[in-house]
């Protein structure tokens, strides 16, 4: 039986979460649907939602507040900071300057309408700023009561190891799915340390291709290829928290239902044998 919950810091969440990146914030009709999808996710039992300053430069955070505030007590909203918006001719870029990180945290507090952000993840490690300075800024805001827990995104094992010498890391958000296991070593490190591994892009674009073999397992279970892919992630390790995203109510229901799909040992052996497709996307 697959374990369906995991403790992230001091919060217990259901392992199958929701990625809010694809929720449109405009125009009005699309925004109304996005609000409905966010609300339906919570109604269906989702207790982990992922967003970021990068997603609409704060508009995604505002959308979640419009849809869900005041938040259910068991809902954990994770946001990310560390990407500077475009300032022509400069394009958007990774930026870990402490002053920018502090400003984006303050903006998130206002946009999400909360006194404390329960989980803030460094969106990317800025190679031009010492990691101790980047995480130090977040640690200072944590000490001030503005951040509950600190996580990372798209990191290597070496970066995770270095970060854990500086702060208590409760989560890592890396790209990972059945056909793309580039970050397998990072997942293994998280599993060994009991750190939540938020798998983004949890369903590879190629899962519906007949050549993957996933469709055969899906047909046997009366499920979709996407559901099989999500169920595989949930069976992969207890620390894995997939965060599929969608702007479709029907697709949302399909994703959430994957948490109830039980793969047999034979199914898992067949799926594991497909092997990773390598770093795509």
Catalytic residues: 55
Beta strands in 154-256 (DSSP E): 169-175, 196-200, 240-242
Alpha-carbon separation of residue 4 from 15, 117, 169, 226 (angstroms): 6, 24, 22, 18
Helix (H, G, I), strand (E, B) or coil at 272: helix
Nearest residue to 233 (alpha-carbon basis) of 200, 191, 202? 202
Tell me whether the omega of the peptide bond preceding residue 177 falls within 30 degrees of 0, making it cis: no
Which residue(s) pair with 120 in the sheet?
Answer: 79, 150
166: closest CA among 201, 143, 136, 188? 136
- Give burial (CB, 10 Å; 0-12/13-18/19+) of 44: middle
The DSSP-derived string for 116-154 is SEEEEEESS--TTS-HHHHHHHHHHHHHTTSEEEEEEES
Q: What is the DSSP letter of 198?
A: E
Question: Is residue 135 packed enough to be buried (19+ CB in 10 Å), middle (13-18) or exposed (0-12)?
Answer: buried
């Amino acid at each position: 039986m697959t374990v369906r919950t995991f403790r992230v810091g001091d919060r217990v969440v259901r392992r199958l979460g929701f990625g809010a990146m694809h929720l449109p914030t405009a125009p009005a009709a699309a925004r109304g649907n996005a609000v409905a999808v966010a609300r339906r996710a919570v109604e269906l039992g989702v207790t982990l939602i992922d967003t970021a300053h990068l997603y609409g430069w704060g508009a995604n955070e505002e959308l979640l507040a419009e849809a869900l505030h005041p938040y259910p007590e068991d809902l954990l909203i994770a946001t990310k900071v560390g990407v500077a918006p475009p300032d022509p001719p400069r394009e958007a870029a990774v930026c870990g300057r402490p002053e920018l990180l502090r400003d984006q945290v303050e903006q998130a507090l206002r946009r999400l309408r909360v006194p404390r952000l329960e989980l803030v993840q460094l969106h990317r490690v800025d190679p031009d700023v010492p990691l101790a300075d980047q995480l130090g800024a977040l640690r200072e805001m944590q000490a001030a009561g503005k951040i509950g827990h600190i996580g990372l995104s798209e990191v290597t094992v070496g970066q995770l190891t270095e970060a854990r010498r500086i702060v208590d890391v409760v989560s890592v958000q890396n790209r990972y799915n059945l056909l793309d296991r580039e970050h397998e070593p990072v997942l293994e490190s998280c599993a060994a340390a009991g750190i939540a591994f938020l798998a983004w892009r949890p369903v590879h674009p190629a899962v519906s291709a007949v050549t993957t073999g996933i469709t055969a397992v899906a047909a046997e279970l009366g499920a979709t290829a996407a559901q099989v892919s999500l169920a595989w992630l949930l069976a992969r390790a207890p620390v894995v928290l997939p965060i599929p995203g969608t702007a479709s109510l029907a697709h949302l229901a399909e994703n959430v239902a994957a948490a109830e799909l039980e793969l047999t040992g034979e199914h898992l052996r067949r799926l594991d044998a497909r092997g990773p497709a390598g770093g795509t996307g």
